[in-house]
Structures are given as C-alpha cells and as structure tokens.
A = this chain, B = another copy of it.
Amino acid sequence: MKSLLGVTEAERRIHAHMPSFGTERVALDAAAGRVLRQTVQAERDQPPFDRVMMDGIAIASTFSSPCFAGGGWEGVKLLPFRSKATPPQPSPALQGRAGEGLRRFRPAGLALAGMPEQVLDDPAACIEVTTGAMLPRGCDSVIPIEQTRRDGESYVLIDGCEPAPGQFIHPRGADCREGEILMRSGMRLRAPEVAVLAAHGVAQVEVAKRPSVTIVATGDELREVDQALAPGQIRRSNDRALAAALAARGFDDVERTWIPDDLDLATHTLAGLLATRQVLVLSGGVSMGQRDFVPAALHALGVHEVLHGIAQRPGKPMWFGVGPQGQAVFALPGNPVSALVCAVRYLLPALERAIGLTATAPVKVVLTDAVATHPALTCFVPVAVQHDGHGRAMAQPQPSPTSGDFSSLPQTDGVVELAPAAGAAPGGTVAVLHRW
C-alpha cells in the first residue's frame, strides 16, 4: 500500500482493467434477469392488425352514423379498412334510414381472436367480435357488448350509445412498426423486456455471459458455519455474504473456498483458481502486516497489481489486480463491513459494467442526521432509507463503531458515500447510495 488512491480514480482503474466475458445465446425461458447483448427489432407491426379491444359487435359506422359523409377518421390508422376494404354501400332496403344512423344490427358473422380476417358484406349488419380479434373488413367501429341489448336475432344499441369511427379498435402498428428498434444492448431483462422479446418472436436471446467467480476466504482463524469453534476461531461469513451479494445481481456461477495464512498453500490454491476461473474475490490478508501474504502470493503468480489502498473508510487496504490471462482479482479487506462496502462500491459495479449492463444514474438520498466525515478519506456509512411525503429518499445514518461491527447491518439498505471533508456532513446533505 504505497499511496492511497481516491475512490473515483480507484473505480476508473478497475473499470479500465476489467476483461470482457463475451455473450451467449439462451432460450427466452432462461433469459429473465440476464443482460441483453443484442438489438431487438419489431418482428412486425404491433398490433399486427387492427385489433378489436372489447367483446361486442363490429359495425360500419361510416355508413350507419352521421359521420358517414363527414370523414371523422383523422388520426386513426385502420390499414386493412383503408387499404383493402371496399367502401361499404348501403343495402337498398336501408338506404332511406342512413341519415338517422342505424340502431339495430343483424349478426352476419363471428370474428374470434385468432381467426383470420372476416368480412362484413352487408354494412347494415354486424359481426360479433371478441377482444383480440382482427377487425372484420368493412367495419370501422366496435360496440362493447354492454352497450347493446338483444332483440330476437339482432343487437340493438342502448340509449346513449353513439358509435364513433375507430372506437375500441387498436390500430395496426400503433404500438410499433415492423423493423423498429425496440431494445438495445445493455438492458437488464425484467418483465417488460421479456414481454417484448416474446411478442416479437425472439425465442433465443443473445445475453451477457456471466463470469466464473471464486470467492476466497483467507485466515487461519476461520471455520465453516457448521464446524466446532476452538478459542480464537470465528466463522467464515464474508465469503457467503459476498456470494449473496453477487447472486442478488444475477452472478450465479460463484464458488467459495478458503486458504490458510500460509504463503505456499495460498499460492498453490490461487494458481489453480487462476487457471480455471475468470474472477477471484479474496477477503482478508491485504493489509501490510507480516501475515498479509495475499499481495505476495498474487505477485508470485503474475497477477499485476493495479491498485493497493484506497483513501476510504472502511476498506482502505483494498487491492485489485489483473492475472496473466486477464483474470480480474479483487482482494477485499477481511473486516465484514469493509468487505461488503468494497463489494457494492467496486466489485459489483465493475462486473456489471464488464458484462455490458448500461449504467444507471446514481441513487441520491438525503441524510436525516449529521455524520462525521474525514479530512482525507471518503467515508461509507450504513443508512436506512425511507421515502418521505415529498418524494425524497431520507437516509438515516447507522454508523458501525468499527468495520468489524456488522450485527446491525440487516437494519440498513446500503451505505452512503461521503467525500473527504473536515468535520461532518450535516443533516440534509445529499449523498449517493450504494445498496447492499
């Protein structure tokens, strides 16, 4: 740890040295939560046809309504009707009533969702339609079933029902046009994105490969969660916490292992991991004490040190380097709070960026109370966030007395980042939040 880097410079150096992990094609069923790495274009117009929006009847309102002569169609694009349909001609028997508007319609056909296009030949009749059906050719208006009553065979419009052209029709192409770009590389695939992929026939999706990650706990004092403890021993917890943090961001090719405080054994184990894994995340052994053998072991294995030591609290001893084949090696401090802070501030953002996730704007919160700052170190302080009645995210500081005090972290949402400053950040300070 020669000289301490600022957090922004540390972040910049890490990002600049991250490898790429490539892409892969997965079935749409396996794509939720992944990061899209292709452009998605509309397979066809959406809706692909003038789509009926209500169960009811479809009619030729331009014949039956007073709008017939006036052309009340501005702004409504009903392609099949306009481009393909023969304009409806009044049947001889009804011609005299056209000006009054028809109120009674004899069903002349049925258009169900999924059926090919039906045709209304007699503009004084109607076609029974269901939601999702193609608008029958010759029709320009849908009357919801609730606005009709049956009289014998016929439908009669109830009082107050004044059919307008285009009503309850979702025009072809209103949502998007064939070939239009709907999504670009870098989006996380949530429910809306999956809906768009499915609707546009993307059965196989190009997504970011997730790197293989091994988390390496270091320290003679560590025992597994189900092992008996001798005096002086504690349980491994950082490796599991880091695995949980990675899993929450979708990184699930994650293994955990452990190395003792022994340079030779550590070097041997790390050599094996460097040969098979793309990202190593160590915790512990990176300070400058005689037992902090991690940098030495990594150096011996040809891992190039990119940084060692960041001007921050907690997490000052953090180390990052790049292996001979471009492997990313994050060596985090061993204290639980330090390890988690370094994970949410450096590890997770670097991995997300490396797999191509488009960066989102930072989440900014308002401190409810003053927090001590440090003149030379960026401070990360745990906070619990609540939204107030003004739409502000209010962050209540819950500082840990030391970076070994993590029992109260479950009450918090993450840490705020406070730049170096003498004194304190007063209540009301706006700060960036890094969520657990």
A73 smallest CB distance to B (angstroms): 16
A226–B334 alpha-carbon span in the complex (Å): 49
Of the residues B48, B56, B291, contact of A113 by C-beta under 8 Å: B291
Once A130-B290, A406-B196 are accepted as A-B contacts, the answer to whether A114 and B54 lie under 8 Å apart by CB is no
The B-contacting residues of A in range 342-376, CB under 8 angstroms, are 343, 361-366
A412 smallest CB distance to B (angstroms): 7
A410: chain B residues at CB < 8 Å are: 182-183, 187, 192-193, 196
A145–B48 alpha-carbon span in the complex (Å): 73
Please indicate which of the listed interface residues A189, A225, A388, A412 has the most CB atoms of chain B within 10 Å of its own CB. A225
Of the residues B55, B174, B195, B386, contact of A289 by C-beta under 8 Å: B55
Contact A133 B409 (CB under 8 A): no
A343–B190 alpha-carbon span in the complex (Å): 13
> B-facing mask of A287-302, CB < 8 A → 1, else 0?
1111110000000000
Choose the segment among A6-14, A97-105, A227-235, A323-331 that binds chain B (4+ C-beta atoms closer than 8 Å). Answer: A227-235
A47: chain B residues at CB < 8 Å are: 234, 404
A361–B1 alpha-carbon span in the complex (Å): 43
A219: chain B residues at CB < 8 Å are: 113-114, 132
Q: Is A92 an interface residue (CB 8 A)?
A: no
The B-contacting residues of A in range 143-187, CB under 8 angstroms, are 145-146, 170, 174-176, 180, 182-183, 187
Q: Is A116 an interface residue (CB 8 A)?
A: yes
Q: Is A257 an interface residue (CB 8 A)?
A: no
A393: chain B residues at CB < 8 Å are: 387, 391-393
Contact B220 A174 (CB under 8 A): no
A176's nearest neighbour on chain B, judged by CB, is B407
Contact A175 B290 (CB under 8 A): no
Contact A232 B33 (CB under 8 A): no
A170–B402 alpha-carbon span in the complex (Å): 8
Contact A132 B289 (CB under 8 A): no
Q: Is A430 an interface residue (CB 8 A)?
A: yes
Of the residues B201, B362, B365, contact of A226 by C-beta under 8 Å: B201
A386's nearest neighbour on chain B, judged by CB, is B361
Of the residues B197, B238, B288, contact of A195 by C-beta under 8 Å: B238
Q: Is A61 an interface residue (CB 8 A)?
A: no
A287–B77 alpha-carbon span in the complex (Å): 26
A241: chain B residues at CB < 8 Å are: 191-192, 194-195, 198
Contact A28 B225 (CB under 8 A): yes
Once A46-B407, A241-B191, A391-B430 are accepted as A-B contacts, the answer to whether A145 and B289 lie under 8 Å apart by CB is yes
A427 smallest CB distance to B (angstroms): 12
> B-facing mask of A308-350, CB < 8 A → 1, else 0?
0000000000000000000000000010100010010000000
A169 smallest CB distance to B (angstroms): 10
| Residues of A bordering B, CB below 8 Å | 28-29, 32-33, 42, 46-49, 51, 53-56, 112-117, 128, 130-134, 145-146, 170, 174-176, 180, 182-183, 187, 189-203, 219-222, 225-226, 229-238, 240-245, 247-248, 261, 284, 287-292, 334, 336, 340, 343, 361-366, 386-394, 401-402, 404-407, 409-410, 412, 430, 436
Q: Could you list 18 A-B pairs, sorted by A, with CB under 8 Å?
A: A53-B404, A55-B290, A112-B261, A113-B220, A113-B291, A117-B232, A130-B290, A145-B288, A145-B289, A175-B407, A191-B245, A191-B343, A192-B412, A192-B436, A194-B240, A194-B243, A199-B234, A364-B387
